[in-house]
């Protein structure tokens, strides 16, 4: 009996240790690819002529879609920010998705909106549009008031009413840098096959934002914000760039991404009632491209930056992460026919299995390790050296990845000018692995169990006005 | 088990070493970058000060060794876009001296692609003369690289090199890799007399994007004397070229085009229809109402939309509402109603 138990325990222990080694090596490879990709990108900035288009009529005109649900705290600042962006020809389409708070009222008052009987082409069917408002003061601002249907439905309504060939989706709690739109759209101009481009999201807590404009970048003293800052740097400057470099990008964040409108309409728009509408759309675009042999490209740009407001408490953070994970699970399930299907080349053979392994099987194996390894030591099955080695390895690889991302940030962008801030990020790169990462793993596992129940809810978290500490 | 422990120890030692190296590099890099930014700003200020000092200052600038580095080129390019034209002229004089010319030529000829392109961009922004052969060679050398082509063409355009551009763009082996909008921007940045450039390019065998860029610029800049030259493109096999030509003729208000446009209007693609409706409204606003009114009932949404927009700007609202009401077309009524509402809103805005 004892032998059987100890064999089972050892099996789980070796699986967990093996998983941590595989993860470490995979992430180190990603870090290397990200370094190569960013180096290339930095060089291209030297001779990029994008700035010539700041006042040019020759840049692609775009529609900026801002879906809003109960966003009364931030919506006006977000719109003010978007109105002040350096871009020659664009419209802002705010879609009020049946908010229960005063989102619409605030917009009407702040921007002097007038209801107008605007007919529009319904390319994608959506919940009923109750009214369309245009601003007396700002010719390029339009607000759509519709019945609640979820973020995907709101974005589809925005696509219907938008009039330009490229749209950029921006979350209602985000602030864009002055040249973000120009940089993200400029890529479309140089790649006719490109159907979607994702931009980088960063945490705006601690940054000085005045009238919806980003004045300076800094960190707050709040540990949760700083840990999330590291997390975003890791995800965007390592994960996404590496996947982009390998031609296998699967996620374009809903908070900031640019799309060719016709390509999105061709795949039926965002899938309604889909919680991970952003990732699902990208998968659909890939699928359509392979099925129709279109040769479309989907890219990620590290430089156009969108600064977002993170959840400020653990409860909201858990809610947000659960939603992300459910969104990923929902997408993978919806498109399970693509997984390990050679027809979909690298996406089917590499990226989708990668997400299945590291985001679904991975957390379970990791958790089993956290449980079985100390238990094995207590039961005398395992040497203490093995247990310490396992934990140290987990700590080291997580920290290397965070510090590596910080190094890339510093080398290419240097957005944090104060040494104090860099040291703070460095400190939390270590702390991040002593509890926070484990909590995130538990959330991922928890999300899988609540998947069916939660898979079509708007992910609203408590918003703060800009300037609130 | 022993093997596993040893293996894990080994990996941990490797990872720990990597981590220590990363941390040290990060801190050193932060300090170094901060110092570099400050040094660049100081140097930029110094150059601006020296440019104000006249000849004495100019000779001092020539001796600044840091300018003979890629970082120096970046700084020069940045300066060119941030100082007034007098200072750029002084800079141009300094950078045209032998030592700088030799350095730039070396960069264009022997250095790697990024340094060569960086130098080309700086040459474009400062409008330095004398590097055309090297730039043309590089465009051919990196013929599949759209960024290389774009920067090279920008240098030719900003320097107003009419002959070199015509020769290059109409060469049988030349393959245009930049997008249409980029080409359009390049054409518009041409620093010189555009009429001979457009005339020459339109008469030669070039890429469709080049024709379209020229035609669009002719329309935008109202170069009436080239209207006759663009007329043949209304019969092109390329739809986008026909659309651009119709639009340009509209912008030029070129009356002789009216009959041909009307003829094409009979059996055209919806995008072309929309462009012709717009062109006709500009060419003869006084008598086009009856011609374009039927297009507000067109099956394609965008044609209806654009036609309604034009009709509202042409006709008084009462007659328009009466005419549309006669048709019993719900969609046309809706769109006209919206356009009139929008017109009122625009008045309020004024």
DSSP string, A210-273: ETTEEEE----S-HHHHHHHHHHHHIIIIIIHHHHHTT------TTEEEEEHHHHHHTTSSPTT
Q: Is B213 an interface residue toward A (CB < 8 Å)?
A: no
Closest CA to A464 of A66, A100, A65, A72: A72
Contact B185 A139 (CB under 8 A): no
Q: Is residue B174 part of a domain?
A: yes
Contact A134 B5 (CB under 8 A): no
Contact B185 A58 (CB under 8 A): yes
Q: Is residue B107 part of a domain?
A: yes
What pLDDT is attached to residue A455? 54
SS3 A109: helix
Contact B334 A385 (CB under 8 A): no
Please identify, among B95, B126, B159, the residue that sits at the C-terminal boundary of a domain. B159
Give the gap in angstroms from C-alpha A330 to the nearest C-alpha of chain B: 35
Give the gap in angstroms from C-alpha A117 to the nearest C-alpha of chain B: 5
Domain hosting residue B345, numbered range? 294-350
Contact B8 A396 (CB under 8 A): no
Kind plus residue range of the DSSP H or E element containing B316: none
What pLDDT is attached to residue A449? 78
How many residues does this entry show for chain A? 469
Q: Residue A179 has what DSSP assignment?
A: T
C-beta separation of B121 from A47 below 8 A? yes
What pLDDT is attached to residue A463? 61
Q: Is residue B29 part of a domain?
A: no
DSSP B157-216: HHTT-HHHHHHHHT-TT----S-HHHHHHHHHT--S-HHHHHHHHHHS---HHHHHHHHH
What pLDDT is attached to residue A469? 43
Bridge partners of A169? Answer: A65, A257
| Between A208 and B169, the higher pLDDT residue | B169
pLDDT, mean of each 10-residue run, chain A (469 residues): 81 87 91 93 85 83 95 91 90 96 95 90 95 91 95 96 95 89 86 92 89 85 92 93 92 93 97 90 96 94 90 90 90 94 95 91 88 89 88 92 94 90 94 91 85 57 57
Query: Rounded to 5 degrees, what are φ and ψ at A458?
Result: -65, 135
Q: Is B147 an interface residue toward A (CB < 8 Å)?
A: yes
DSSP A308-339: EPPPSSHHHHHHHHHHHHHHHHHHHHHTGGGT
Chain B residue with minimal CA distance to A419?
B30
Question: Could you tell me if B177 and B152 lie in one domain?
Answer: no
In this predicted model, what pLDDT tens digit does every residue of B30-54 receive, in sequence order? 999 999 999 999 999 999 999 998 8
Chain A residue with minimal CA distance to B348?
A136
Chain A residues lying within 8 Å of B37, measured CB to CB: 414
Chain A residue with minimal CA distance to B148?
A47
Chain A residues lying within 8 Å of B22, measured CB to CB: 400, 403-404, 407
Question: Could you tell me if B280 and B321 lie in one domain?
Answer: no
Q: Which of A189, A406, A407 is the closest to B182 by Cβ?
A: A189
Q: How far apart are CA B139 and CA A370, in angstroms?
A: 58
What pLDDT is attached to residue A43? 87
Contacts for A349 with CB less than 8 Å, ≥ 6 apart: A340, A341, A342
Closest CA to A462 of A72, A53, A41: A72
Give the gap in angstroms from C-alpha A138 to the nearest C-alpha of chain B: 8
Contact B345 A116 (CB under 8 A): yes
In 10 A of CB A465, how many CB atoms? 12
In this predicted model, what pLDDT tens digit does every residue of B251-264 receive, in sequence order? 999 999 999 999 99
In this predicted model, what pLDDT tens digit does every residue of B79-114 receive, in sequence order? 988 899 999 999 999 999 999 999 999 999 987 899
Give the gap in angstroms from C-alpha A404 to the nearest C-alpha of chain B: 7
What pLDDT is attached to residue A210? 83
DSSP A410-428: HHHT-----HHHHHHHHHH
Q: Is B33 an interface residue toward A (CB < 8 Å)?
A: yes
Q: How far apart are CA B125 and CA B62, in angstroms?
A: 19
Q: Which of A116, A121, A419 is the closest to B341 by Cβ?
A: A116
Contacts for A75 with CB less than 8 Å, ≥ 6 apart: A66, A68, A94, A103, A106, A107, A172
Q: Is residue B32 part of a domain?
A: no
| CB-based burial label for B58 (10 Å; 0-12, 13-18, 19+) | middle
Q: How far apart are CA B77 and CA B265, in angstroms?
A: 49
Question: Could you tell me if B201 and B239 lie in one domain?
Answer: yes
Q: Which long-range contacts (CB under 8 A, 24 or more apart) does B53-58 make?
A: B58/B90, B58/B93, B58/B94
Q: How far apart are CA A285 and CA A287, in angstroms?
A: 5
Contact B23 A114 (CB under 8 A): no
Count: domains in chain B:
3
Closest CA to B114 of B154, B75, B145: B145
Residue B70 has pLDDT above 70, yes or no: yes
Residue pairs spanning A and B at CB distance below 8 A:
133
Query: Rounded to 5 degrees, what are φ and ψ at A114?
Result: -125, 135
Q: Is residue B27 part of a domain?
A: no
Q: Which of A49, A118, A400 is the closest to B151 by Cβ?
A: A49
Question: Could you tell me if B186 and B239 lie in one domain?
Answer: yes
Q: Is B71 an interface residue toward A (CB < 8 Å)?
A: no
Q: How far apart are CA B347 and CA B350, in angstroms?
A: 5
Bridge partners of A113? Answer: A135
Q: Is B1 an interface residue toward A (CB < 8 Å)?
A: yes
Q: How far apart are CA A231 and CA A216, in angstroms?
A: 20
Chain B residue with minimal CA distance to A40?
B114
Give the gap in angstroms from C-alpha B278 to the nearest C-alpha of chain A: 17
Question: Could you tell me if B108 and B148 lie in one domain?
Answer: yes
C-beta separation of A170 from A274 below 8 A? no
Q: Is residue B4 part of a domain?
A: no
Chain A residues lying within 8 Å of B346, measured CB to CB: 139
What pLDDT is attached to residue A466? 58
Contact B334 A46 (CB under 8 A): no
Contact A47 B151 (CB under 8 A): yes
Question: Could you tell me if B258 and B342 lie in one domain?
Answer: no
Contact B114 A404 (CB under 8 A): no
Q: How far apart are CA A66 and CA A157, in angstroms?
A: 11
Question: In this structure, what is the dihedral angle of CA atoms A92, A98, A103, A106, given to the nearest 10 degrees?
Answer: 80
Q: Is B181 an interface residue toward A (CB < 8 Å)?
A: yes
Q: Is B182 an interface residue toward A (CB < 8 Å)?
A: yes
Give the gap in angstroms from C-alpha A400 to the nearest C-alpha of chain B: 5
CATH code at position B262: 1.25.10.10
Question: Could you tell me if B114 and B143 lie in one domain?
Answer: yes
Contact B334 A419 (CB under 8 A): no
Kind plus residue range of the DSSP H or E element containing A65: strand A62-68
Question: Could you tell me if B153 and B175 lie in one domain?
Answer: no
Please identify, among B245, B265, B284, the residue that sits at the C-terminal boundary of a domain. B284
What pLDDT is attached to residue B60? 93
SS (H, E, C) B71-106: HHHHHHHHHHHHCCHHHHHHHHHHHCCHHHHHHHHH
Q: How far apart are CA B263 and CA B259, in angstroms?
A: 6
Please identify, among B244, B263, B284, the residue that sits at the C-terminal boundary of a domain. B284
Contact A426 B22 (CB under 8 A): no
Q: How far apart are CA B169 and CA B33, in angstroms?
A: 42
Q: How far apart are CA B83 and CA A1, in angstroms?
A: 84
Q: How far apart are CA A155 and CA A160, in angstroms?
A: 9
Question: Could you tell me if B182 and B223 lie in one domain?
Answer: yes
Closest CA to B138 of B122, B157, B119: B119
Half-sphere exposure of A143 (CA within 13 A, CB side): 29
What pLDDT is attached to residue A341? 96
Chain B residue with minimal CA distance to A186?
B182
Give the gap in angstroms from C-alpha A264 to the nearest C-alpha of chain B: 18
Q: Is B301 an interface residue toward A (CB < 8 Å)?
A: yes
Q: How far apart are CA A10 and CA A373, in angstroms?
A: 9
Q: Is residue B124 part of a domain?
A: yes
Q: Is the dihedral angle over the CA atoms B72, B77, B81, B86 positive or is it negative?
A: positive
Kind plus residue range of the DSSP H or E element containing A117: none
C-beta separation of A347 from A282 below 8 A? no
Question: Could you tell me if B155 and B176 lie in one domain?
Answer: no
Please give the angle made by the CA atoms of A414, A416 and A420, to the nearest 5 degrees. 125
Chain A residue with minimal CA distance to B152?
A47
Chain B residue with minimal CA distance to A49?
B151
What pLDDT is attached to residue A453? 61
- The gap between the terminal CA atoms of chain A, to the nearest Å, is 58
Question: Could you tell me if B52 and B155 lie in one domain?
Answer: yes
Give the gap in angstroms from C-alpha A341 to the nearest C-alpha of chain B: 32
Indicate the average pLDDT of chain B.
Answer: 92
Question: Could you tell me if B128 and B145 lie in one domain?
Answer: yes
In 10 A of CB A51, how many CB atoms? 13
Q: Is B205 an interface residue toward A (CB < 8 Å)?
A: no
Q: Is residue B31 part of a domain?
A: no
Q: Is B221 an interface residue toward A (CB < 8 Å)?
A: no
SS3 A381: coil
């Amino acid at each position: 009996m004892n032998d059987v138990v100890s064999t089972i325990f050892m099996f789980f222990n070796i699986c967990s240790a093996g998983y941590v080694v595989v993860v470490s090596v995979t992430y180190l490879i990603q870090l290397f690819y990200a370094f190569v990709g960013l180096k290339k990108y930095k060089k291209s900035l030297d001779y990029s002529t994008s700035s010539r288009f700041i006042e040019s009529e020759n840049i692609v005109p775009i529609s900026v879609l801002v879906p809003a649900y109960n966003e009364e705290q931030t919506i006006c600042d977000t719109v003010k920010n978007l109105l002040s962006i350096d871009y020659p020809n664009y419209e802002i389409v705010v879609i009020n998705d049946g908010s229960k708070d005063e989102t619409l009222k605030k917009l009407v008052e702040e921007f002097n909106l007038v209801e107008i009987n605007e007919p529009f082409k319904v390319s994608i069917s959506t919940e009923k549009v109750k009214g369309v408002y245009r601003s007396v003061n700002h010719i390029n601002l339009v607000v759509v008031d519709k019945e609640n249907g979820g973020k995907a439905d709101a974005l589809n309504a925005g696509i219907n009413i938008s009039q330009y060939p490229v749209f950029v989706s921006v979350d209602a709690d985000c602030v864009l840098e002055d040249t973000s739109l120009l940089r993200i759209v400029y890529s479309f101009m140089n790649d006719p096959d490109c159907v979607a481009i994702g931009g980088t999201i960063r945490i705006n807590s601690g940054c000085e934002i005045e009238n919806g404009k980003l004045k300076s970048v800094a960190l707050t003293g709040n540990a949760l914000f700083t840990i999330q800052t590291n997390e975003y740097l890791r995800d965007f400057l390592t994960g996404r760039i590496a996947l982009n470099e390998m031609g296998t990008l699967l996620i374009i964040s809903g908070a900031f991404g640019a799309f060719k409108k016709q390509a999105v309409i061709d795949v039926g728009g965002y899938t309604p009632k889909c919680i991970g509408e952003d990732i699902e759309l990208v998968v659909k675009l890939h699928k359509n491209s392979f099925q129709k042999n279109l040769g479309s490209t989907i890219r990620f740009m590290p430089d156009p930056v969108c600064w977002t407001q993170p959840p400020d408490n653990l409860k909201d953070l858990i809610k947000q992460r659960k939603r992300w994970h459910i969104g990923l699970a929902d997408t993978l399930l919806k498109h399970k026919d693509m997984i390990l299907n050679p027809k979909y080349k690298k996406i089917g053979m590499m990226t989708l299995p990668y997400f299945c392994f590291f985001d679904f099987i991975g957390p379970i194996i990791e958790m089993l390790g956290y449980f079985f390894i100390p238990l094995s030591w207590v039961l005398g099955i395992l040497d203490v050296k093995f247990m310490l080695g396992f934990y140290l390895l987990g700590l080291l690889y997580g920290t290397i990845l965070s510090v590596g991302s910080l190094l890339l940030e510093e080398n290419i962008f240097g957005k944090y000018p104060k040494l104090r801030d860099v040291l703070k990020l460095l400190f939390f790169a270590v702390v991040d692995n002593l509890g926070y990462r484990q909590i995130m793993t538990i959330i991922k596992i928890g999300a899988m169990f609540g998947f069916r129940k939660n898979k079509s809810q708007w992910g609203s978290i408590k918003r703060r006005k800009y300037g609130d500490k | 088990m022993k093997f596993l422990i040893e293996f894990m120890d080994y990996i941990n030692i490797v990872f720990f070493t990597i981590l220590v190296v990363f941390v040290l590099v990060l801190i050193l890099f932060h300090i170094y970058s901060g110092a570099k930014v400050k040094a660049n700003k100081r140097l930029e200020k110094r150059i601006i000060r020296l440019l104000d000092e006249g000849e004495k200052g100019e000779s001092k600038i020539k001796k600044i060794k840091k300018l003979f580095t890629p970082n120096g080129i970046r700084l020069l390019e940045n300066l060119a876009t941030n100082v007034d034209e007098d200072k750029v002229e002084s800079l141009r004089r300094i950078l045209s001296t032998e030592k700088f010319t030799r350095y730039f030529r070396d960069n264009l000829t022997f250095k790697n692609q990024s340094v060569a392109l960086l130098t080309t961009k700086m040459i474009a922004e400062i409008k330095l003369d004398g590097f055309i052969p090297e730039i043309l060679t590089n465009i051919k050398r990196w013929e599949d690289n759209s960024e290389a082509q774009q920067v090279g063409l920008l240098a030719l355009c900003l320097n107003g090199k009419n002959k070199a551009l015509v020769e290059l763009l109409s060469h049988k082996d030349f393959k245009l890799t930049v997008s249409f909008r980029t080409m359009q921007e390049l054409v518009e940045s041409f620093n010189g007399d555009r009429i001979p450039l457009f005339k020459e390019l339109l008469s030669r065998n070039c890429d469709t994007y080049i024709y379209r860029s020229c035609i669009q610029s002719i329309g935008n800049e109202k170069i009436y004397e080239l209207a006759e030259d663009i007329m043949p493109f209304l019969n092109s096999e390329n739809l986008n070229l026909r659309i651009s030509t119709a639009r340009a003729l509209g912008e030029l208000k070129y009356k002789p085009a009216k009959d041909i446009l009307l003829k094409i209007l009979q059996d055209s693609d919806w995008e072309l229809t929309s462009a012709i409706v717009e062109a006709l409204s500009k060419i003869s606003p006084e008598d086009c109402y009856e011609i374009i009114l039927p297009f507000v009932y067109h099956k394609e949404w965008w044609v209806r939309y654009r036609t309604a927009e034009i009709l509202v700007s042409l006709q008084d609202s009462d007659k328009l509402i009466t005419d549309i009401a006669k048709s019993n077309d719900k969609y046309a009524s809706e769109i006209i109603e919206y356009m009139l509402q929008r017109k009122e809103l625009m008045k309020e805005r004024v």
